């Protein structure tokens, strides 16, 4: 028992001596460092068995965010380049969904009535009085001369088809687009008249597309078409010297170019335009429908207001009053 007590006392003395040594060492360390350390600081420097060695001061880690931004920009540009290099320019014939052509050739009369007409027709010129009648098979002629590559032809065909569909029937119409970049208004969706036929009790539609969208020759104008083009698509009448599209409404009106703002077609495909035509609130319907109403009013003058149900409508009567006179 006494032996056990002695052992315990000796153990306590050794522990006390060890603590004193450690405190003395800590104090020396603080002095060596020239620090104004307090007892607390000294206690902190005491390392016990099992303690981790103090870490060396860590260098501030540099943010990766800037390089993430740089890599992000490079990735976006790289993606755009890949899209550019792999794009297809074959958005040509037949891209319209089934039924879209029919929507174009059967725009409801109520829609055309609702869209009305702009205050005055754009780009329309009255042919000089005394211009001889332009007829085939005893019917007045509406002439169109254009080309599939031509963006303004693409723009103009929309109202031409809408208007002519009120006087007769198209067949064989196909969708197409104008020439790819770098042409102006590239890939403008439209219809081609090449390969189509038009029948009407009231008029003859004479059309020719002279080149494809990749500028290869397509249809050759007949002598009749070429003569009208050369005679009437001249500076004093249309303000141009052979520009296309060239449209001639019998011996009454002619123009070169489009009748409305091509911007309404920007970014839209054939189906979107065809669908928008049925909505009188859409810009597409207002622009194309408005131009079609003026075209209809001009053709009505040519057909002696036939068919009556078309030519007697309020909007067509209104359009007639705004047409240029000789």
Enumerate binding residues for another protein (CB under 8 A).
Answer: 62-63, 65-67, 69-70, 73, 76-77, 80-81, 83-84, 87, 180-182, 184, 186, 263, 266
In the complex, what is the shortest distance from the CB of residue 82 to another protein, in angstroms, rounded to a whole number? Answer: 10
Residue with tokens 């060396």: 56
**CA 122-123-126 angle, 5° bins:** 110
Nearest CB to another protein, comparing residues 83 and 326: 83
- b/e burial code for range 100-113 (CB count within 10 A of at least 16 → b): bbebbbebeeebbe
In the complex, what is the shortest distance from the CB of residue 256 to another protein, in angstroms, rounded to a whole number? Answer: 21
Q: What are phi and psi of 249, to 5 degrees?
A: -100, 90
Contacts of 145 (CB under 8 A, 6+ apart): 207, 208, 210, 221, 225, 229, 233, 244, 245, 246, 247
Nearest CB to another protein, comparing residues 39 and 81: 81
In the complex, what is the shortest distance from the CB of residue 191 to another protein, in angstroms, rounded to a whole number? Answer: 22
What is the rounded distance in angstroms from the CA atom of residue 127 to the CA atom of residue 125? Answer: 6
In the complex, what is the shortest distance from the CB of residue 97 to another protein, in angstroms, rounded to a whole number? Answer: 23
What is the rounded distance in angstroms from the CA atom of residue 238 to the CA atom of residue 45? Answer: 98
Would you call the peptide bond into 307 cis, given omega within 30 degrees of 0 as the criterion?
yes
Nearest CB to another protein, comparing residues 36 and 266: 266
Nearest CB to another protein, comparing residues 91 and 194: 91
In the complex, what is the shortest distance from the CB of residue 63 to another protein, in angstroms, rounded to a whole number? Answer: 4
Token pair of 19 as six digits:
């603590």
In the complex, what is the shortest distance from the CB of residue 46 to another protein, in angstroms, rounded to a whole number? Answer: 34
What is the rounded distance in angstroms from the CA atom of residue 18 to the CA atom of residue 186? Answer: 91
SS3 for 81? helix
Nearest CB to another protein, comparing residues 49 and 182: 182
From 324, 275, 277, select the one nearest 301 (Cα to Cα): 324
DSSP state of 217: B
In the complex, what is the shortest distance from the CB of residue 183 to another protein, in angstroms, rounded to a whole number? Answer: 8
Nearest CB to another protein, comparing residues 181 and 195: 181
Nearest CB to another protein, comparing residues 215 and 224: 215
């Amino acid at each position: 028992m006494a032996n056990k007590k002695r052992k315990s006392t000796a153990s306590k003395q050794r522990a006390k001596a060890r603590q004193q040594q450690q405190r003395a060492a800590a104090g020396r360390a603080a002095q060596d460092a020239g620090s104004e350390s307090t007892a607390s600081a000294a206690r902190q420097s005491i390392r016990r068995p099992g303690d981790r060695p103090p870490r060396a001061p860590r260098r501030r880690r540099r943010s990766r965010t800037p390089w993430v931004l740089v890599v992000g920009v490079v990735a976006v540009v790289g993606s755009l380049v890949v899209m550019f290099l792999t794009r297809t320019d074959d958005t040509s014939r037949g891209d319209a969904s089934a039924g879209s052509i029919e929507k174009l050739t059967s725009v409801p009369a109520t829609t055309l009535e609702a869209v009305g007409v702009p205050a005055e027709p754009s780009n329309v010129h009255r042919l000089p009085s005394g211009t001889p009648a332009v007829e085939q098979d005893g019917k007045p002629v509406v002439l169109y001369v254009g080309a599939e590559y031509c963006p303004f032809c693409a723009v103009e065909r929309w109202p031409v088809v809408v208007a002519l569909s009120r006087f007769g029937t198209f067949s064989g119409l196909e969708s197409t687009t104008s020439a790819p970049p770098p042409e102006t208004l590239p890939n403008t969706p439209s219809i081609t008249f090449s390969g189509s036929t038009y029948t009407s009790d009231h008029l003859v539609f004479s059309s020719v597309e002279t080149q494809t969208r990749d500028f290869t020759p397509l249809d050759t104008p007949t002598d009749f078409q070429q003569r009208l083009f050369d005679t009437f698509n001249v500076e004093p009448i249309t303000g141009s010297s052979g520009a296309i599209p060239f449209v001639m409404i019998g011996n009454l009106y002619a123009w070169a170019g489009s009748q409305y703002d091509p911007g309404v077609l920007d970014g839209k495909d054939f189906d979107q335009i065809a669908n928008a035509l049925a909505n009188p609130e859409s810009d597409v319907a207002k622009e194309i429908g408005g131009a079609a109403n003026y075209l209809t009013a001009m053709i009505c003058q040519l057909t002696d207001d036939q068919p009556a149900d078309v030519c007697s409508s309020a909007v067509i009567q209104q359009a007639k009053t705004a047409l240029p006179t000789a």
